[in-house]
Amino acid sequence: MLLSYFIGALPHFLAYFAGAVGLALAFMVLYVRITPHPEFALIRQGNSAAAVQLVGTFLGFAIPVALVIAHSVSAIDMLLWGAVAALIQALVFFAIARLLFRAIEDRISKGCTASGIFVGGIGLGMGILQAACMVP
């Protein structure tokens, strides 16, 4: 009985997991392209500010996607809400870097950990808020 349930549920798990990983990869590729500083190169150089900023933003994306996976009615539903989560994170960065603190990009590039914590923390907080709003 348990084995047949597992075998029946496995394709759904794989579909959702593959969709979530695809969303995560697409988000990371797009996000690092819209930010003016090269996060991965900075992280390779030991820039903690870039690492904290990117990880916080990624968690701010992943938390709503995880909640949507738990409550979505289909994989397509999850993908659509995941796209919304990605868009929100991009808008959060835009609001911070273009409207509130225009020098924050340079500060992150120069290794200002406080700036990285701020951007990553705001991204994480906004992700938690949007996760709460995505539950029907």
Spatial distance between the Cα atoms of 32 and 88, rounded to a whole number of angstroms = 15
CA 29 to centroid of chain Cα atoms: 11
Q: pLDDT confidence of 3, banded at 50, 70, 90?
A: confident
Q: Which of 74, 27, 31 is nearest to 53 (CA)?
A: 31
Spatial distance between the Cα atoms of 78 and 69, rounded to a whole number of angstroms = 6
pLDDT digits (tens, 9 = 90+) for 11-27: 989 999 999 999 999 99
* Number of domains into which the chain is organized: 1
At 133 the pLDDT is: 92
At 136 the pLDDT is: 60
DSSP string, 70-120: HH-SSHHHHHHHHHHHHHHHHHHHHIIIIII-TTHHHHHHTT-HHHHHHHH
Look at 21 and 75; give whichever has higher pLDDT. Answer: 21
pTM (2 decimals)? 0.90
pLDDT digits (tens, 9 = 90+) for 30-65: 999 999 889 999 999 999 999 999 999 999 999 999
The neighbour count for residue 16, using CB atoms within 10 Å, is 19
Domain that holds residue 45: 2-133
pLDDT averaged over every residue in the chain? 92
At 75 the pLDDT is: 86
